[in-house]
Chains A and B, each alone.
Chain A
Amino acid sequence: MKRALLFVLLAALALAVDDATMKKVIGSGGPDFAAAMQQDPSEALCSEFPQGLPADRVGGFVEAERAKVNYTQPLAGDWKRGREVFVTPAKGNCYACHAGEPGEAAFGDVGPPLTNFGLRGQGEGIVKYTYEKIYNAWITVPCSTMPRYGVNGRLTAQEISDLVAYLTSPESPINPAVKGGK
């Protein structure tokens, strides 16, 4: 661990190679690789500051990210469809990083458990927060490891609203401890 920390410090001090060299290197990996490695300005900023954005960059970053959210109505859709999105590897693939329904044992722990997420409430505020969190995780936590599902088109607005319903609805099997649920 100590070695890892020392490394992170050294990395911050090291002079990086320039962008033109990186473009050439990435191009050498082939056209598909090169296309996917294109960055938007926020990805580039998060790459430049892997230990966290400098304080004076956070405001502008969050503002730019917030402008990328497209809201759909209603923000909470159908929890049954949301459950499919949650478990499907090519869609949400949420179990890769989060615990969900109590019966699912094969879950990752990179992100916080989402079991009984509905205990946080069903009001307008929590529904909007949940929608924004999935659509663009970088609004609440700049450069979070969580992908910006909506911004990147990984999920549609409809699919995100269905996920919101799956997470917040008392009917949802992810919420066994929520009153009025199953």
Chain B
Amino acid sequence: MRRFFFSLLLVLLAGALVWALSPAEEAKRQRQLFLEQSGGAHPGELFVAEGEEYYTSLEGAGGKTMADCDFGKGPGVLEGAYAELPKYFADSDRVEDLDTRVVTCLTQVLGLGEDEFDRDMVVSLVSYIASFSHEMPIQVTLDDPQEKEMFQIGERLWYWRAGQMDMSCAACHDRYPGRRVRLAPIRNPEQGLSDHWPAYTFSFDKMYTLENRINFCYDSIQIPHPEFYSTPHIALSLYMRYRANGNELDVPGFTR
């Protein structure tokens, strides 16, 4: 499977060079090509299926299951939950994105210890839960004071220039949307920067969430990325998603 994806990747990269003049078209074409060659199967669905397996089989102390967890629409309700995240949760008294909320569910509701789950499990669960919001419009609100403050934190991080490259999110994503870094098209949140995460990324043959996407960004500007589930992730996710309100989610996504 891995070898297949790798050889396919080489073909796609060669195609990317030829197609260098139109990044948006290039991305669309690569996706189509990939789906045709893999027999129409979206590799992201494998991770969604794995997440479903965890979701239905995990059991915690006192017979609690993941269906006892509230992802924002009530315990066990997954339809449309991801479209409204990140949001404030009264039980944890904080704003959480889906990654963080899954961890809260595993540790607080099921009572699992830190060594009883790993990042891959969280990513699969995020993929599964997010898939119930596919093609739904993003609807993030700032009704709670903690949501408002988290948005403002996200906004300051967005404009925060630092590191050896003097970079910030905004220095590229707000100043140069529509242009390219090497061959990668730059988008702002309104243009869908965050709409397709969690996504299957074919150059790594892995599933990644929006937290991973934020990490790629920091790593590429020489700032060691923040730890998973930390406030910078939640704040930037909320900030980008709020700006993308009304955009249709495309999850699991598919990207280079």
Residues of A in contact (CB 8 Å), total 46
CA distance A25 to B160 in the complex (A): 13
Contact B190 A4 (CB under 8 A): yes
| Residue on B nearest A26 in the bound complex, by CB | B232
Question: Which A residues lie within 8 Å of B160 (CB)?
Answer: 37, 39, 47
Residues of B in contact (CB 8 Å), total 45
Q: Which of B187-237 contact A (CB under 8 A)?
A: 188, 190, 218, 222-227, 230-232, 235
CA distance A114 to B216 in the complex (A): 27
Distance to closest chain B CB from A35 (angstroms): 8
CA distance A122 to B14 in the complex (A): 37
Q: For the complex, is A126 an interface residue (Cβ under 8 Å from B)?
A: no
Contact A96 B181 (CB under 8 A): yes
Once A15-B152, A30-B226 are accepted as A-B contacts, the answer to whether A50 and B159 lie under 8 Å apart by CB is yes
Mark interface residues in B122-163 (1 if CB within 8 Å of A CB, else 0): 000000000000000000000000000100110111011111
Q: Which residues of A contact B (CB under 8 A)?
A: 1, 3-4, 7-8, 11, 14-17, 21-22, 25-26, 28-30, 32-33, 35-39, 43, 46-48, 50, 95-97, 105-110, 138, 143, 145, 147-148, 152-154
Q: Could you write out 28 A-B pairs with CB less than 8 Å apart?
A: A3-B243, A4-B174, A4-B177, A4-B188, A4-B190, A7-B243, A14-B152, A14-B155, A15-B152, A16-B155, A17-B149, A25-B153, A28-B231, A29-B225, A30-B227, A39-B160, A47-B161, A107-B182, A108-B179, A108-B180, A108-B182, A108-B183, A110-B176, A145-B175, A152-B163, A152-B164, A152-B165, A154-B222
Q: Which residues of B contact A (CB under 8 A)?
A: 17, 20, 149, 152-153, 155-157, 159-168, 170-172, 174-177, 179-183, 186, 188, 190, 218, 222-227, 230-232, 235, 243
Q: Which 5 A-B pairs have the closest CB atoms?
A: A29-B226, A32-B224, A147-B165, A36-B223, A30-B227
